Structure 1
Amino acid sequence: MNKPEKIVSEELSEPLTFPVDAYVSREYAEAEADRLWSKVWQQAGRVEEIPQVGNYITYNIGHDSILIVRADDSSIKAFHNVCPHRGRRLVANNCGGGNGVLPQGKGEHSACGRQGSFVCPYHAWTFDLDGKATYILDKEDWQGTLTPERTGLTPVKVDTWGGWIFINMDPEAEPLRDYLEPIATLLDPFEFDRMRYRFRFWGVFDCNWKVALEAFLEPYHVAGTHPQLCKYGDFYAWSKALGLHGNDGYDTKEHKGEGEGTSADTSVHRAAKGEDARVSIARMQQEFWDTIGAGTSETLVKAAQRLVDELPEGTPPADVHHHWIEAAKRDDAARGVPWPEISDAEMATAGLAQSVFPNMNLLPGPTFLLYYRVRPYGTDPDKCIYEAVALDRFPEGEEPKTEWTFAEQDLTKWPHVIAQDISNMVEVQRGLKSRGFRGNLPNPWQERKVTNLHRGLAKFMGTGRPVPLD
């Protein structure tokens, strides 16, 4: 007689485990292309990358390449980046390619440029910005069988949220906003659409895309991976499943489960510990700026350095934090950078970081955002494309010009704290293949975003769902 199936709680509160196939199986990786990546909404770029009619970018996932183009002043369109004649990709991957000689893996990333039409380099078939074939060499040879449906580029669903461009290859996909809820409503107050690129790094790493993503889905790893940061506070955290998506924030063991607290307790710019909050906040902010280059802003860093001059010794930490935030807000206003109307409760509820299924994790502040996006390298279970991106608000007209920086696997080319995270990736991938590894044991309180990722994967893949520990 079969044992009755154990029911996993909706909030994933019990100890759970899940198998390693999702990380190491070639069969699983190849099935992801059909069951996952062709069905989900994926962030494919930023609206700021295609400001003018004819600007385009590509987004590559598995063996698919999506061409995204500014068709006119008010519309963005997306198509499969393939000529309907003989299957050649219309646009080669050339962003940052220089003389056209691309480093290993670089051809898997993206292309960008501006054109009034797209000409296939193979046989010169030509397509306008709406994907319609406008020139076919010797079209009459096909004896009238080349209809617009046969010769036009294959459309892909496209929409925007938060300044990002999302694509979905499934013609029957639900609307983007419905897919993103409830995380979209949680994050709308941050006005990500008003932020612009400050830096964007990427590289190809020898690990599964889920291993790379999970390196950033929880603060539980800070004590082991970033011990230098522990002098500024404890990194105990709560973690929640929000449908397919999730969020987490700082917590205390003493107040576990009693609520998220305030933004000074839970958010990316929480107060640092120490006898003198004026000093500890200033030191923490400077270290974050020096070793991450994100997760804060230059304005917040400078305002923190003035705290010892602007407040008397013995000022309570909550008052120091409030003074610091208000001073930074005034400083930004003076340079033409308004803060969004976001309440302390909204900031606290959002917490430290939010995951957008399947492959993004965000760490937002009032005027800045650090986020990570990962994706498979073809259908190789042992390789992935990993990106670390910083956004900021800038005075109008002072936005920097940025491009994708290929940082390879050389950890000296990455911000120090991010490099520490990257250092775990390859070793985890190796360890998951060990005959001595008995299965994942995610923390039931602090790593629910990790478990929820695998619950979401199981929904699409039909296998590998989390199950209770015996």
Structure 2
Amino acid sequence: MANDQIELIPVREDFVPKDVYLSEKFARLEKEYLWPKVWQVVCREEEIPRVGDYVTYEVLDESFVIVRTDAETIKAYHNVCQHRGRRLVEGCGRKARLRCRFHGWTWNLDGSLAEVLDRSDWDGCEDMSDADLALKEPLIDFWQGFVFINMDSNAEPLEKYLDPVPSYCDGFEFSKMRFHWSKSVRLPCNWKVALEAFNEGYHVAATHPQLLDTVGDDRTVSFAFNKHGMFGYFEGTRPLGTPSPRTGKPVPDDIRPGLIQYIDQIDKTLNAIITHRDAAASRRLMTDASADDDPMELLGKLAGFMQEAAVADGAGWPDMSFEDVYKAGTDWHVFPNFVFLPYPDGALFYRSRPDGDNPDSCIYDIWALARFAPGAEPELKHEKFYGKDDWREQDNFGLILTQDFQNMHNVQRGMKSSGFSGARTNPKQEKVLSNFHKVLIENYLNGEASK
């Protein structure tokens, strides 16, 4: 199958060829050699708390049903009737059995065959045992409350696949977080364009200028970890709560108001990572901290105020030191299509998927998780904005996300110019992007196509 290999200008740390986002051939190779071979996040365990609860997950032509079969067990099946190929279920819900509406073939929650209408009509036919007709299962595994599947029966274990992400991020205890909100949107761009918009912090200065007065030094450093990647603010000369050096503004004598303003901005314009509880707790800086405190001491006190508020609220707090949180960075990319921004009291997760075979469209899922006292979680509602222009509405997504969506739309359009050959990725701040494409092409597309 060597003829299927992709002839592209090689990916470098400072260059990604544009065809990886635009080429229909590239999208076909992803469909054949990437998506069937990787671990993909399909849902959260709390989405299916009761026996019989199920959700569906779709990527390209594949559909899966993920169902809780008993109090301790979640299973995944290819969402297809073994008789004539009709999909068994749509969306999410609760079933005692999985029954095809076409001819009534039925399966138990454990995937075993329950009923075939007029089964005796197949007497003497081959491959008609209960085992032959059981629902087909992808691999399934779990990490921090997330459910993963892999269509490749020979795939490496999820624990090995994720390495080293858990060693940096398990301390946040995502498994103890619950949905604050969940939104999905159809975006007019390739799934990788959407994913990469949240894979680097280099864009903040131009895309989110409203943050520059309080974000501190907004220069980031990015790192590749095997197939995954991370970036963070590790070399800053100014602390959070102060103006970016790009503004030309001096560091104020008292950074407490800037810290409070930054927390408020994230809370009000993103409504994720930082919780309303954190925003309220930040105001203690003006009464329980001093303008003379060292900036790192102020950040430590701010984290302490947030922790006290969460514990008093019954939501708990992870056993992480300030150094642990710092080391974990700001943003992680789990290959191929999962990105998250972690924080002790909340976290924001992104999942990007192709929208059918169209390389100019994708489905983008956004999950805001937070800590809640048991029983205080809001009712889970998955909002879907799949209309042509739904992504344009700031009321649906808030200022920060809407600013990002504008970039995605215009990047996809702009890359089609004959005057553009490829992305000139920043070797220091966008290394996660170039590493992603290098792994995608060399390890999956050309690597698999050449076998």
1:293 equivalent among 271, 275, 292: 271
Q: Which amino acid aligns with 2:105?
A: W
Superposition pairs of residues 66-465 of structure 1, within 5 angstroms? 66-92=64-90, 111-145=91-125, 146-232=128-214, 233-252=216-235, 270-273=240-243, 274-275=251-252, 276-407=254-385, 408-412=390-394, 413-458=396-441, 459-462=443-446
Deviation at 1:410, TM superposition (A): 3.2
- Following superposition, the deviation at residue 15 of structure 1 comes to 4.4
Q: Give the 3-state SS of the residue equivalent to 1:339 in structure 2.
A: coil
Which ranges of 4 or more aligned residues in structure 1 deviate by more than 4 Å?
270-274
Q: Scaled by the length of structure 2, what TM-score is found? A: 0.90
Deviation at 1:443, TM superposition (A): 0.1
CA contact (8 A) 2:255 2:291 kept: no
Shift of the alpha carbon at 1:234? 2.5
1:314: Cα distance to partner?
Answer: 2.8
How far the C-alpha of 1:253 sits from its partner, in A, is 6.8
| Residue identity in the other structure for 1:250 | Y
2:47 paired residue among 46, 49, 57: 49
Match of 1:25 in 2: 23
Deviations 1:239-262 (A, max 9, x none): 0001111111014377xxxxxxxx
Shift of 1:16: 3.0
Aligned-residue offset at 1:440: 1.5
Question: Matched residue of 1:414: which SS?
Answer: helix
Paired residue type of 1:410: R
Following superposition, the deviation at residue 333 of structure 1 comes to 1.2
- The match for 2:247 is none
Residue aligned with 1:231, SS: coil
Give the conservation status (yes or no) of the 8 Å contact 2:106–2:113: yes
Unpaired stretches in structure 1, ≥5 consecutive residues: 1-7, 93-110, 255-263, 464-470
Letter in 1 for 2:365: E
Does the 8 Å contact 1:235/1:251 carry over to 2?
no
In 1, distance between residues paired with 2:296 and 2:169? 24
What is the CA RMSD across the aligned residues, in angstroms? 1.8
Deviations 1:401-427 (A, max 9, x none): 121112332332112101100111111
The residue type equivalent to 1:244 in the other structure is K
Q: Which amino acid aligns with 2:199?
A: L
- Please give the per-residue CA displacement for 1:431-467, whole angstroms capped at 9, x wherever unaligned: 111111022210000001111110121111118xxxx
2:35 matched residue in structure 1:
37
Q: Which runs of 5+ in 2 are unaligned?
A: 1-9, 244-250
- Give the count of matched residue pairs: 422
Q: In 1, distance between residues paired with 2:14 and 2:131? A: 49
Per the alignment, residue 257 of structure 1 pairs with none
Q: What is the deviation of 1:387? A: 1.6
| Secondary structure of the corresponding residue to residue 219 of structure 1 | coil
Separation in 1, partners of 2:267, 2:152? 41
TM-score (norm: length of structure 1): 0.87
Check conservation: 1:83, 1:90, Cα contact below 8 A.
yes
What percent identity do the matched residue pairs reach? 39
How far does residue 288 in structure 1 lie from its aligned partner after superposition? 1.0
